[in-house]
């Protein structure tokens, strides 16, 4: 690490290369992700769409290392390093970040204390951010995300509304400045103004040193955050990839045409593929 500023590209290294190869994930002995391939490069924004229950959140959780999700096959690397060998916190310190569909509530732990501890963990011993500087930065970012300053001292996610939780995930993202960002339904529960603010935050982080994987059901988010690639997930794998026009067609026509083309009857992972 070169410097402990909060400026862009604090890692001072080239853009990330995140590679998923033939990934298989099971939950409670049921295979949910079934042979998924995807490569994310610095500067790119990938969107994943797909009907309910097709394994999108499972993919995101497995990439982050959630203990309930068992990797039963495949490879995941970040800049050539084996991600699946890393503990959850190591993945985060390497620059991975997942904005969760359902973030946990942690009573008694203040939001500010949590974010500062996380940031210092990421900066590493000896490079901790001075307290005053942290609070200035936190307040500035909260203001920008239109989060009431009292949320700094509220307990982490406890009693937050759906939309407040999502904005708090984005606050963590802009504070931690990760390199591989996975957003799982960040738009659900957000009002239109909040959606624009969140999109602006994502767009401002867009650089050759960051790559994004955005899971969403709605084309609307993708009007604000324009993706380079759109992938459709069904039955636990990517069944179609394209550009932004793919998202537009799905928005207009739904998934039936695609299922028809692919000869898929049940798109979920509920029955055997």
Partner 1 sequence: MAEQTTTIVSVTAEALSVRYVEPDWLRKMRAGAWEIFQAAPSPKLEKTDLRDRSWDIGPYADEPGSPSEEAEALVGELAGQAYVHVRNGVAVAVHLPEALAAQGVVMTDLHTAVRDHADLVKAHLGTVVKPDEGKWAALNAALWHGGIFVYVPRNVVVDTPVHFVYEETGQAAGGAPRALVVADEHSALSYVEVFLTAGSQPDKVHTGVTEVIAKTGAKVTAAAVGGYRKGPANFSVRRAHIGNDASVDWVFADIGDGFSVVLLESDLAGDGSASTVQGIGIGTGRQHLDLTASVLHHGRYSTSDIQLHGAMKDRANAIYRSSTHIFKGAVGAGSEQHDRMLMLDKRARADAIPMLLIDENDVQRCGHAASVGRIDQNQVYYLMSRGIPRSEATKMIIWGYLEPTVQRIPSEVVRTHLVRRIDRELEA
Ligand X SMILES: Nc1ncnc2c1ncn2[C@@H]1O[C@H](COP(=O)(O)OP(=O)(O)OP(=O)(O)O)[C@@H](O)[C@H]1O
96-135 footprint of ligand X as x/- string (CB under 6 A): -----x----------------------------------
User: What DSSP character marks residue 33?
Assistant: E
Q: Which of 13, 17, 27, 118 touches ligand X (CB under 6 A)? A: 27
Rounded-to-integer distance, Cα 49 and Cα 39, Å: 16
Q: Tell me whether residue 57 or residue 168 sits nearer to ligand X (CB atom).
A: 57
* Phi, psi of 79, deg, nearest 5: 50, 40
**Partner from ligand X, partner 1, Mg ion, none binding residue 131, C-beta < 5-8 Å depending on class:** none
Query: Cβ neighbours of residue 113 under 8 Å, at least 6 residues apart?
Result: none
145: three-class secondary structure by DSSP: coil
Q: Are 111 and 151 in contact (CB under 8 A)?
A: yes
- Residue placing its CB nearer to Mg ion in the complex, 119 or 230: 230
Tell me whether residue 32 or residue 210 sits nearer to ligand X (CB atom).
32
**Angle, CA of 240, 244 and 246, to the nearest 5°:** 40
Interface with partner 1 in residues 164-223 (CB under 8 A): 172, 176
Provide the pairing of β-strand 45-49 with 106-110.
Answer: unpaired
CA distances 84 to 20, 56, 58, 150, 190, Å, are: 10, 18, 15, 38, 32
Q: Which among 26-34, 94-102, 221-229, 249-257 is the span making contact with Mg ion, rule CB under 5 A?
A: 94-102
The verdict on 57 binding Mg ion (CB under 5 A) reads: yes
- Chain positions 59 to 88 lying near ligand X, rule: CB under 6 A, are 68
How large is the greatest C-alpha to C-alpha distance in the chain, in angstroms?
59
Per rule CB under 6 A, is residue 53 in the interface with ligand X?
A: yes
Measured in whole angstroms, the distance separating CA 265 from the mean position of its chain's CA atoms is 29
Q: Is 80 exposed, middle or buried (0-12, 13-18, 19+ CB in 10 A)?
A: exposed
Cα–Cα distance, 120 to 108 (Å, whole number):
20
Q: Which of 6, 20, 32, 173 binds ligand X (CB under 6 A)?
A: 32
From 24-32, 83-91, 206-214, 240-248, give the range in contact with partner 1 by CB under 8 A. 83-91
Site map (CB under 8 A) of partner 1, residues 51-70, x = contact: -------------xxxx---
Among 20, 40, 76, 100, binds partner 1 (CB under 8 A): 100
211 binds, among partner 1, Mg ion, ligand X, none (CB under 5 to 8 A by kind): none
Which residues in this chain contact ligand X in the complex, by CB under 6 A? 27-28, 32, 50, 52-58, 68, 101, 269
Which residues in this chain contact partner 1 in the complex, by CB under 8 A? 64-67, 87-89, 91-93, 97-98, 100, 103-109, 113-115, 117-118, 121-122, 155-156, 172, 176
């Amino acid at each position: 690490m070169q410097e402990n500023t909060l400026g862009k590209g604090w890692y001072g290294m080239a853009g990330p290369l995140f590679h998923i190869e033939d990934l298989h994930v099971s939950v409670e002995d049921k295979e949910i992700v079934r042979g998924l391939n995807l490569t994310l490069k610095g500067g790119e924004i990938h969107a994943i769409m797909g009907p309910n229950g097709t394994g999108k959140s499972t993919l995101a959780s497995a990439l982050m290392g959630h203990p309930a999700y068992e990797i039963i096959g495949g490879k995941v690397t970040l800049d050539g390093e084996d991600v699946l060998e890393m503990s959850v916190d190591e993945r985060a310190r390497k620059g991975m970040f997942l904005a969760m569909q359902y973030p946990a509530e942690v009573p008694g732990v203040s939001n500010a204390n949590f974010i500062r501890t996380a940031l210092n963990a990421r900066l590493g011993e000896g490079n901790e951010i001075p307290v005053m500087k942290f609070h200035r930065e936190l307040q500035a970012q909260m203001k920008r995300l239109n989060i009431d300053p009292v949320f700094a001292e509220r307990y982490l996610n406890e009693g937050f509304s759906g939309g407040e939780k999502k904005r708090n995930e984005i606050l963590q993202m802009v504070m931690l400045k990760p390199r591989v960002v996975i957003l799982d339904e960040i738009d659900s529960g957000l009002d239109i103004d909040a959606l624009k603010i969140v999109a602006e935050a994502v767009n401002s982080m867009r650089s050759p040193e960051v790559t994004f994987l955005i899971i969403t059901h709605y084309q609307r988010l993708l009007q604000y955050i324009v993706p380079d690639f759109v992938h459709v997930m069904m039955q636990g794998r990517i069944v179609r990839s394209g550009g932004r026009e793919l998202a537009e067609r799905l928005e207009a026509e739904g998934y039936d045409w695609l299922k028809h083309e692919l000869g898929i009857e049940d798109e979920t992972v509920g029955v055997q593929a």
